[in-house]
Structure 1
Amino acid sequence: MAGTIPRLAVRAVLVHQDRLLLVNAYPDGQSDLMCAPGGGVVPGTSLIENLSREVFEETGLHITVMDPCLVNEFHDPSTGYHQVDIYFRCQVKGSASIDPAWTDAEHVVTDRRWVSAEEMKQVRFKPDSLADVAFATSGVSYDPLEVIVR
């Protein structure tokens, strides 16, 4: 779709005690697809502010945002929707416990879990490179345009 501006989002690669935090952002069990916490960028606020806000809204956790580690693009060829996600390595500030009763303001996130590298093999997630990036010690990666899946 010509003329459509890509949506910009930020996501947290948050590894604590060798486990990556994943969320499911499909209300009412519409999908089992997991992803890193985060969301759309609000104009006029920094990427770091946006990411800190989004992670808190989705999980109740406070984080320190560090360096970018992945840029991922995905799109829907049938609608022209295009999103660019910038992933940042993050650390938990304070407790890494997530209250099981926590609900995000939009009631979209239905599952939050800490997953080991081995457990990632049993989880359906996007983007495809997330596990490799999360459990690497450094570097920045780029995932070119992936087709949206649910």
Structure 2
Amino acid sequence: MKSRSPRLATRAIIVEDGRLLLVNAYPGNRSDLWGAPGGGVEPGVSLPENLRREVNEECGLEVEVGALALVNEFHDPKSGYHQVDLFFRCRVTRGALDPAWRDPAGIVHTCRFFAPAELAAIRLKPDSLPRIAFAPAAPVYYDPLEEIVP
């Protein structure tokens, strides 16, 4: 297996009215796995700018990017794929979730806010996300390398 550099991505932790925003980013609704909105970083563009773009594309929302809250790594030992996600606390400054919104890339098909009690009934990654999301005063947390889940 050829060694390759990790992919860098930014993710948004958006909590409104005690609920966490998550997206399902599997085209064709092929998976029940949820995660925070965001995506790959484009070279030459700041991390906050990348994150604002991704949240707008995926959810139709404009956000203010705040403090870094979580660094998470995952990998696929079979392919050598390795990604580092930087999760920032964000606040919606414009827009609201619209069920008619469509991700221009066609990757995200559902955006939804979840109450803490609902999170136990869904699959989401990383496992540490709910704990970090609902503890706003916590310092930056490092979530060690975990194997990717299909």
- Above 0.5 in TM-score? yes
In 1, are the aligned partners of 2:3 and 2:80 still within 8 Å (CA)?
Answer: no
Q: CA deviation at 1:94?
A: 2.9
Return the alpha-carbon distance in structure 1 between the equivalents of residues 29 and 92 of structure 2.
27
**Aligned residues between the structures:** 149
| Corresponding residue of 1:9 | 9
Unaligned runs of 5+ residues in structure 2 are none
Q: CA deviation at 1:38?
A: 0.0
| Corresponding residue of 1:80 | 80
What is the CA deviation profile of residues 39-77 of structure 1, one whole-angstrom value per residue up to 9, with x for unaligned ones? 000000000000000000000000000000000000000
In percent, how many aligned pairs have the same letter? Answer: 56
Equivalent residues in 2 for 1:43-122 (5 A)? 43-95=43-95, 97-122=96-121
Unaligned runs of 5+ residues in structure 1 are none
| Corresponding residue of 1:25 | 25
Q: CA deviation at 1:140?
A: 1.1
| Corresponding residue of 1:132 | 131
Return the alpha-carbon distance in structure 1 between the equivalents of residues 142 and 7 of structure 2.
17
Partner amino acid, structure 2, of 1:122: A
Deviates more, 1:113-122 or 1:66-75: 113-122
Q: What TM-score comes out, normalization by structure 1 length?
A: 0.96
Q: CA deviation at 1:123?
A: 1.3
| CA RMSD after TM alignment | 0.9
Equivalent residues in 2 for 1:33-44 (5 A)? 33-44=33-44
Return the alpha-carbon distance in structure 2 between the equivalents of residues 2 and 100 of structure 1.
42
Return the alpha-carbon distance in structure 2 between the equivalents of residues 4 and 79 of structure 1.
10
Partner amino acid, structure 2, of 1:20: L
Partner amino acid, structure 2, of 1:74: F
Moved >3 Å (runs of 4+): none
